């Protein structure tokens, strides 16, 4: 089953609680981009905002930690109401971070950037719940999908099948009605979609259209 995870990075932050209510009408996931101004050149939200949003929503909070020192903050995100935290292979100490997420009873995600070879995440795929393949360089919304990501999606899907693993495959960056079919065909299970949803006059319609598209491709 394909999941559409709206990325609120592209939403109007002045109306986040209303936006979460609308999202909940058509999907059960919400993707939260956490940026620290170090690992990526932008700054977004942190645990206090996640905690405030959790008071108003039962959505599954998929927290993508684009931060230099996730070890310092994982417990805070757990306490704030995160369901899944995804750390980047590029920050290092991957096994320690996976073990920490396990101890905190967080679902465990691992991400890799467009210029990081798939082989770098292979040693950890038996231990994670989700692999996030970036189809843009992280840091800003509204970027153009990088077609090279499709090769990594195929590699991840093949590796999962050949090794009888169960991690879900997520793709993030430039996903829209035009690029989603290729992602789904290549093996993506979760589509993170930001600008295509929140820059539309009918965001809920876009989510529904993506879900219908996925059903058509997978069946």
CATH code, domain with 60? 3.20.20.70
Find residue 202's DSSP bridge partners.
none
Give how many domains the chain has, as a whole number.
1
The per-residue pLDDT for range 182-206, each reduced to its tens digit, is 999 999 999 999 999 999 999 999 9
pLDDT of residue 1: 84
Above 90 in pLDDT, residue 215?
Answer: no
Claim: this prediction has a pTM higher than 0.75 = yes
- Evaluate whether 207 touches 16 at the Cβ level (below 8 Å): no
CA–CA separation, 93 and 106 (whole Å): 17
Active site residues: 33, 172
pLDDT band at 218 (very low <50, low <70, confident <90, very high): low
pLDDT of residue 219: 57
- Evaluate whether 127 touches 150 at the Cβ level (below 8 Å): no
* 190 alpha carbon, distance to own chain's centre: 8
- Evaluate whether 183 touches 150 at the Cβ level (below 8 Å): yes
Q: Could you give the dihedral angle defined by the CA atoms of residues 211, 212, 217 and 219, in that order, rounded to the nearest 10 degrees?
A: 110
Which of the two residues, 219 and 115, has the higher pLDDT score? 115
Q: Which domain holds residue 57?
A: 3-218
| Residue 67 token pair | 């931060």
- Name the pairing type of β-strands 130-134 and 168-172: parallel
């Amino acid at each position: 089953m394909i999941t559409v995870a709206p990325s609120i990075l592209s939403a109007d932050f002045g109306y986040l609680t209303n936006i979460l209510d609308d999202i909940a009408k058509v999907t059960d996931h919400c993707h939260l981009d956490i940026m620290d101004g170090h690992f990526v050149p932008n700054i977004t939200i942190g645990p206090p905002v996640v905690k405030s949003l959790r008071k108003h929503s039962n959505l599954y909070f998929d927290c993508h930690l684009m931060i230099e020192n996730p070890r310092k903050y994982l417990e805070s995100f757990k306490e704030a109401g995160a369901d899944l935290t995804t750390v980047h292979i590029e920050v290092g100490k991957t096994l320690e971070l996976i073990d920490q997420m396990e101890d905190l009873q967080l679902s465990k995600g691992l991400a890799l950037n467009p210029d990081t070879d798939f082989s770098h995440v292979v040693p950890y795929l038996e231990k994670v719940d989700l692999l996030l393949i970036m189809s843009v360089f992280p840091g800003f919304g509204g970027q153009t999908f990088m077609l090279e990501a499709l090769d990594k999606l195929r590699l991840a899907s093949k590796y999962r099948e050949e090794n009888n693993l169960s991690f879900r495959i997520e793709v993030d960056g430039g996903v829209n009605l035009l690029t989603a079919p290729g992602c789904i065909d290549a093996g993506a299970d979760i589509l993170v979609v930001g600008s295509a949803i929140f820059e539309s006059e009918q965001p809920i319609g876009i989510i529904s259209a993506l879900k219908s598209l996925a059903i058509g491709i997978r069946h």
